Chains A and B, each alone.
Chain A
Amino acid sequence: MYSQGLRDSKAGDDSPELLEAFQKRIDNEEKIEPRDWMPQAYRQTLIRQISQHAHSEIVGQLPEANWVSRAPTLKRKLILLAKIQDEAGHGLYLYSAAETLGESRHKMFEDLLSGKAKYSSIFNYPTLNWADVGAVGWLVDGAAIMNQVALCRTSYGPYSRSMVKICKEESFHQRQGYDIMIKMAQGTAQQKAMAQDAINRLWWPALMMFGPSDKDSKHSGQSMKWKIKRFSNDDLRDKFINATVPQAEYLGLTIPDKDLKYNEKSKTYEHGEIDWNEFVNVIKGNGECNQQRMDARNRAYDDGKWVRATAAAYAKKQQKNEKVA
C-alpha cells in the first residue's frame, strides 16, 4: 500500500532534511518508488503530468477512430484499429502508474470529463483526409516519442517503466504513419495534395505539443531538478524539427514555415515564430474540436453507465453466491 508514503508527505511536512535526502537520491539517479517518501509537490506534479498523459491517450483515440470506418484497405483498417487499441492500452498503464501515487482512476476520469484536467492540445484539431491518419502517426506520434524517450529515464519508477513499453509501440506507430505518407506522397496528384494539406494543418500544432517556450514554461525548473523532465521543451522541439524536416524533404512535401532555414554553422534547422496565442487558446478550450472531443468522451461515459452498473451488480451477486456456496 502507498498509505505510508501518503502519510509521510502531507503538505507542510516536508522538512529540509527529508527534502535534502530526497534530492540526493534523485541526483544519484535512484528511481523513486510508490512506497518511498516524496515531497508533496513532487507527487502532485507527477499526478498532474501522468494523468494528463493518460487523458491524451484516451482523447487521442478519437481523431484516429474518425477514419476507422473509412480506411482504404483491410490492411490499413487492421493497422489503424490495432494502433488505436495500443493508445487505449497506454492510457491504462498510465492511469495505473498515476494510481500508485494515491489518485484513483475514477477521480482522474471525472476531472477529464468535467474539463478540469487537460490533455494534449493536438487532439483538438480535426482529421479531415486520409493523409491525416499518416500525419498523426508521423508527426504527432513522432513528437510524442521525442518526449517519451526522454521520460524513459524519468525519476519516478512506475512512470519510467511504463514509458519504456509505450515507446516501443509508439515508434511502430510513427513508422506506420510515415508509411502512409510515402504512399500518399508517391501516389496520384490528388493523394499528394491530401498529404500536403495534412502537413499544412498539423505541422504547427505538432510543434506546440512540446509545450511553451522555455522562457514561459512555469513547471519546468523544478521538474528538471527532480528529473521528472530531463530535457527542456525547446531542446526537444528542436530535436524533433531536425529529425523531421529531412523526412518531409524525402517525401517531396513542403513544411509550412516560410522562415524555416538551415544554419550551416550549428548544423540545425531554425524555425519561424510559433503562434502561442493559438496554443493558449486551444489549451483554454477554444480549439476547433475541444467541445466535440469532450462531448464524445462524455457521451461514451454516459452511454456506458448502465453497462458498468449491470456488470458491477452481476459481479456482486456472483460473489455473494460464492460465499453462500
Chain B
Amino acid sequence: MPNKNEARYNYILNLADNTLVLGQRLSGWCGVGPFLEEDLALTNTALDIIGQAQMLLNLAIEIKGEGTVDDLAFLRDQHQFKNVLLVEQPNGDYAQTMFRQYMIDSYHVHLYRALVDSSEKQLAAIAEKSLKEVNYHKERSELWIKRMALGTSEGLERLQKAANNLWHYQHELFENSEELDKLVKQGIAADPNQLQQNWLNDVSKLLAKTPIKTPQSGWRATGGRLGHHSEYLGKMLCEMQFLQRAYPNCEW
C-alpha cells in the first residue's frame, strides 16, 4: 500500500475499530438491561454503532484494495486493532457503561460534525449519516448522567466511581501524530486539538451541573492506535472471533 493510502487506512481503521469494539461491548447488555424500554434503547445504540463500524471497515478495505469487512473484524489479532482503550473497557455497572458512552458520544458528535466536510467523500457521507445517530445517542447518555448524578445518592456514588475509572482514557481520543497532522492539513481528518477543545467544553458544561468531580491528574491511556491494548481486548476478541477462528473459510 502506498504511504499516502496507509495513513488514510490507519485513520479510518482507528475510527472503525472504536465503533466495532464499542458495539461488541454494548451488545453485551442485550436482554439484561435495567428495564425493558432501556434494553430496547441501548440495543438500538449498539445496532447503530455496529452499523457505523460496518461502513467504516468497508471504506478501509476499499482503500486497502483487498479483503472483506469480516476479515478485518474477525481475523485480526488484538495488536492489529487500532481502537482507543476506552471502548474496550468492560461494561461494569450501568454507570460505567453510561459514562463511557457519554465520553464517546460527545467525541463522536464533534468528530462526525467535522468529518461531514472531509475531502474524503465517502467518509463525509458516512459522517453525515452517523451524525444523526450519535446526536441522539448523546442526548440519551447525557440524560443518564443527569439521572445518576442528580437522582439518588447511590446513583451519584456509582457515577463518581465510573468517572474516576474512565476519565484518564479521554486523552487518547485526541492524540496527534505526524501522520494524522498531514491528513488534517489535506482536509481528510478532523483536527484533534479542535475536537479536544469542543469535547472538554461540552463535558465540563454538563458535569458542572452535577456534583461529579473529575480527577485532575494521573495515568493517561495511550497506545491503542499502535496496537498496544489493555488485557480486556484479547479476551473480548477470543469470544467475538471464535467461530471464524475455529471453522475457517466457511460461509455463514
Partners in one complex: yes
Q: Please give the distance in Å from B34's CB to the nearest CB on chain A.
A: 3
Q: Is the CB of A73 within 8 A of B94?
A: no
Contacts of A65 in B (CB 8 A): 30-32
Chain A binding surface SS class: helix
Q: Please give the distance in Å from B21's CB to the nearest CB on chain A.
A: 12
Which of A74, A82, A89 has the most chain B CB within a 10 Å cutoff?
A74
Q: Is the CB of B35 within 8 A of A89?
A: no
Q: CA of A69 to CA of B251 in the docked complex: distance in angstroms?
A: 18
Cβ of A150 within 8 Å of any chain B Cβ, yes or no, is: no
Q: Is the CB of A61 within 8 A of B31?
A: yes
Tell me which of B33, B54, B147, B243 contacts A300 (CB under 8 A).
Answer: B33
Q: Please give the distance in Å from A325's CB to the nearest CB on chain B.
A: 16
Q: Is the CB of B146 within 8 A of A88?
A: no
Cβ of A310 within 8 Å of any chain B Cβ, yes or no, is: yes
Contact stretch, chosen from B150-158, B195-203, B219-227: B150-158
Q: CA of A262 to CA of B251 in the docked complex: distance in angstroms?
A: 33
> Contacts A74-B50, A312-B151 given: A307-B94 contact, CB under 8 Å?
yes
Q: Is the CB of A188 within 8 A of B247?
A: yes
> Contacts A92-B36, A311-B151 given: A73-B74 contact, CB under 8 Å?
yes
Cβ of A72 within 8 Å of any chain B Cβ, yes or no, is: yes
Q: Please give the distance in Å from A109's CB to the nearest CB on chain B.
A: 9
Q: Is the CB of A309 within 8 A of B31?
A: no
Q: Is the CB of B47 within 8 A of A82?
A: yes
Q: Is the CB of B32 within 8 A of A70?
A: no
Q: CA of A76 to CA of B252 in the docked complex: distance in angstroms?
A: 8
Contact stretch, chosen from B38-46, B77-85, B129-137, B173-181: B38-46
Cβ of B250 within 8 Å of any chain A Cβ, yes or no, is: yes
Which of A71, A186, A315 has the most chain B CB within a 10 Å cutoff?
A71
Contact with B along A183-195 (1 / 0, CB 8 A): 1001110110000
**Nearest B residue (CB) for A184:** B252
Contact with A along B4-31 (1 / 0, CB 8 A): 0000000000000000100010011011
Cβ of B90 within 8 Å of any chain A Cβ, yes or no, is: no
Tell me which of B40, B47, B155 contacts A92 (CB under 8 A).
Answer: B40
Q: Is the CB of A306 within 8 A of B252?
A: no
Cβ of A303 within 8 Å of any chain B Cβ, yes or no, is: yes
Q: CA of A296 to CA of B23 in the docked complex: distance in angstroms?
A: 22
Contacts of A190 in B (CB 8 A): 247, 250
**Nearest A residue (CB) for B157:** A306
**Nearest B residue (CB) for A91:** B36
**Nearest B residue (CB) for A84:** B30
Q: Is the CB of A81 within 8 A of B74?
A: no
Chain B binding surface SS class: helix
Q: Please give the distance in Å from B178's CB to the nearest CB on chain A.
A: 32
Tell me which of A73, A78, A85 contacts B40 (CB under 8 A).
Answer: A85
Q: Is the CB of A73 within 8 A of B30?
A: no
Q: CA of A92 to CA of B43 in the docked complex: distance in angstroms?
A: 15
Cβ of A24 within 8 Å of any chain B Cβ, yes or no, is: no
Q: Is the CB of A81 within 8 A of B43?
A: yes
Q: CA of A91 to CA of B46 in the docked complex: distance in angstroms?
A: 20
**Nearest A residue (CB) for B69:** A74
> Contacts A70-B243, A77-B27, A190-B247 given: A314-B147 contact, CB under 8 Å?
yes
Q: CA of A190 to CA of B250 in the docked complex: distance in angstroms?
A: 10
Q: 24 A-B contacts, Cβ less than 8 Å apart?
A: A61-B31, A68-B28, A70-B242, A73-B74, A77-B50, A88-B36, A88-B39, A88-B40, A92-B36, A92-B40, A188-B247, A300-B33, A300-B34, A303-B93, A306-B152, A306-B154, A307-B35, A309-B152, A310-B148, A310-B154, A311-B147, A314-B148, A314-B155, A315-B147
Interface residues of A (CB under 8 A from B): 58, 61-62, 64-65, 68-78, 81-82, 84-85, 88-89, 91-92, 95, 130, 180, 183, 186-188, 190-191, 296, 299-300, 303-304, 306-315, 317
Interface residues of B (CB under 8 A from A): 20, 24, 27-28, 30-40, 43-44, 46-47, 50-51, 53-54, 57, 69-70, 73-74, 93-94, 146-148, 150-152, 154-155, 158, 239-240, 242-244, 247, 250-252
